[in-house]
């Protein structure tokens, strides 16, 4: 087992989100864990092997490339198959928003295991998170937190897509929330306000915001900000582009305001994100 632990926070920490510990664990054939009302959440990404996760009387299978959750304040048991022990990556975290973020990501006592081709795409992010946590550098806490925000953001996006698809089966293309989210996904680089959306979709600002919030678990402008930050993360990998240029490309003319939004969403500044990614993926010499 390779485990890393970050500086401890008090149980009453007022932070929105913080990372406690994580690691890579090849379990034994008799591995079994129980948590009775944990004060932290945890995400566990299974690299290989099989096992089970149980909340209440319901048991869920967790195999390769599945993701399962330890939920704050809930009683849970999980154990490996003795014939095919787990190898997994894990991260534990807390904070004021931790439990709510897990719910928005679709991780609940009834659905504690996520399984889909999209979940498999998270493998590289969990490997990077483990690498960052094991680095033992002064900025490790910021780097790990930024990566956790990214993982949770991707999970929330996947959950939103699933909910849209489920509603689409009954309401078709006339669903207001689907139309708004599609418009935002196509026009994130343009100036967009709630007033503009209300005029386009012929709803009052309050009605549109309320319906979007009910379906997507966040306000339309917050959804737009998440889209822009995700695009900015991709652009920041290009070291020839300044932070100001990236900010303008995602419709923020004030680089300082963009940097504040970026830090609020990811836990680190745009420059710290660029440095972090450069360390993970150094350019090859010609």
Half-sphere exposure of 259 (CA within 13 A, CB side): 12
Band the pLDDT of 140: cuts 50, 70, 90.
Answer: confident
Q: Which DSSP symbol is given to 172?
A: G
Residue 127: pLDDT over 80:
yes
- Kindly report, residue by residue over 62-72, the tens digit of the pLDDT: 999 999 999 99
Residues 40 and 103 in one domain: yes
The beta-strand segments (E) located in the chain are 2-5, 18-26, 32-36, 41-48, 51-55, 58-62, 67-70, 75-80, 87-94, 113-114
> What is residue 285's predicted lDDT score, i.e. its pLDDT?
44
- CATH code for the domain of 200: 1.10.10.60
Residue 279: pLDDT over 80:
no
The tally of domains found in the chain comes to 2
Whether 80 maps to a domain, the answer reads yes
Among 68-82, 96-110, 128-142, 223-237, the minimum mean pLDDT is found in 128-142
Q: Residue 279: which residues within 8 A CB-CB, separation 6 or more? A: none
> What is residue 171's predicted lDDT score, i.e. its pLDDT?
47
Whether 60 maps to a domain, the answer reads yes
Residues 203 and 270 in one domain: yes
Band the pLDDT of 9: cuts 50, 70, 90.
Answer: low
- CATH code for the domain of 63: 2.60.120.10
For residue 170, give both structure tokens: 């009954």
Whether 155 maps to a domain, the answer reads no
The fraction of the chain above a pLDDT of 90, given in percent, is 49
Whether 59 maps to a domain, the answer reads yes
Whether 241 maps to a domain, the answer reads yes
> What is residue 7's predicted lDDT score, i.e. its pLDDT?
67
Residues 7 and 129 in one domain: yes
Residues 128 and 18 in one domain: yes
Residues 110 and 180 in one domain: no
- Kindly report, residue by residue over 39-70, the tens digit of the pLDDT: 899 999 999 999 999 998 899 999 999 999 99
Give the domain extent around 180.
175-280
Residues 126 and 248 in one domain: no
Residue 6: pLDDT over 50:
yes
């Amino acid at each position: 087992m390779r485990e890393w632990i970050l500086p401890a926070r008090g149980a009453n920490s007022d932070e929105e989100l913080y990372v406690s510990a994580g690691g890579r664990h090849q379990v034994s054939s008799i591995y079994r864990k129980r948590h009775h009302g944990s004060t932290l959440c945890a995400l566990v990404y299974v690299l290989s092997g099989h096992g089970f996760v149980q909340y209440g009387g319901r048991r869920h299978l967790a195999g390769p490339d599945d993701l399962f959750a330890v939920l704050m304040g809930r009683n849970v048991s999980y154990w490996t198959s003795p014939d095919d022990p787990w190898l997994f990556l894990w991260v534990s975290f807390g904070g004021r928003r931790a439990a709510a973020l897990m719910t928005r990501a679709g991780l609940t006592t009834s659905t504690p295991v996520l399984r889909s081709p999209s979940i498999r795409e998270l493998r590289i992010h969990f490997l990077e998170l483990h690498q960052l946590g094991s680095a033992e550098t002064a900025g490790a806490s910021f780097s790990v937190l930024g990566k956790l925000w990214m993982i949770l953001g991707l999970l929330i996006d996947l959950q939103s897509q699933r909910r849209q698809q489920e509603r689409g089966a009954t309401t078709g293309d006339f669903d207001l929330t689907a139309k708004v989210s599609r418009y935002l996904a196509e026009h994130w680089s343009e100036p967009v306000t709630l007033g503009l959306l209300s005029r386009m979709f012929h709803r009052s600002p309050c009605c549109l915001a309320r319906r979007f919030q009910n379906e997507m678990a966040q306000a339309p402008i917050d959804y737009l900000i998440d889209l822009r930050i995700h695009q900015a993360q991709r652009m920041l990998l290009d070291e020839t582009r300044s932070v100001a240029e990236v900010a303008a490309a995602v419709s923020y003319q004030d680089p300082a305001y963009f940097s504040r939004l970026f830090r609020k969403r990811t836990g680190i500044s745009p420059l710290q994100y660029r440095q972090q990614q450069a360390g993970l993926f150094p350019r090859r010499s010609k």
